[in-house]
Chain A
Amino acid sequence: MTDQQDNQIREAITDAIASNDVILFMKGSPEAPACGFSARTVGILQSLDTRFAAVDVLPDPRIRQELSALSNWPTIPQLFVGGELVGGCDIVTEMFETGELAELLGAEGHSEAADPAVADGATLQIENRLS
């Protein structure tokens, strides 16, 4: 593995976060989450009818390494809204329970049919989900 490849992954992650209003980095896919924390986070987003892009970090360990380096957050899942890290499963769950998450997602206008504009989906295998 070369530095150049790592940079490409990092750039693809940065692009994906910038081009998707709501993006979840998770283990597995929304249909088949590979970890309970990812499953719970997907369930919360789906219960709010949130349209979100999902990236599986499992196919290449460098995705997780680069993501954590970029976000300064050690665990998966990681939810980004409007380019900002919201948190992992604990924070998302807490914000869901207090209503803050619905407010955040509503305020960002994600229930509108925003252009899903996927950046470099080939590298990161981004899937867009309409819950």
Chain B
Amino acid sequence: MPDAATIKARIEAGIPGATADVDDWTGGGDHFRATVVAEAFNGLSRIQQHRLVYEIFGQEIGGPIHALSLTTLSP
């Protein structure tokens, strides 16, 4: 089962220069909430920014990770 620290580490590894704050929203290990700040988001639409994060997890979103709620920001 994923935990918030693992998800944070994977986001930060998957998007160079990103910093992520991740909460386990329900404490159940399947609904997470993340705020991600990354230079890589500059010039991208929100959809494109969220896709960059979702792509790190692929099929896990909707599977073991039931929900990953995102707020994305460029620094």
Please report A residues at the B interface, Cβ cutoff 8 Å. 37, 64, 68, 72-76, 85-91, 94-95
Contact = CB atoms under 8 A, between A and B. Distances in A.
Given A74-B61, A75-B62, A90 B69 contact: yes
Contacts of A86: 47
Contacts of A95: 46
A112 to B, nearest CB: 26
B71 interface: yes
Q: How large is the interface on B (under 10, 10 to 19, 20 to 34, 35 or more residues)?
A: 10 to 19
A41 B47 CA distance: 16
17 contacts: A37-B69, A64-B62, A74-B54, A75-B62, A75-B68, A76-B62, A85-B47, A86-B47, A87-B46, A87-B47, A90-B50, A90-B69, A90-B71, A91-B47, A94-B46, A94-B71, A95-B46
Nearest to B61: A74
A73 B67 contact: no
Contacts of B69: 37, 89-90
Contact of A91 (B46, B61, B68): B46
Contacts of B51: 72-73
Nearest to A64: B62
A91 B50 contact: yes
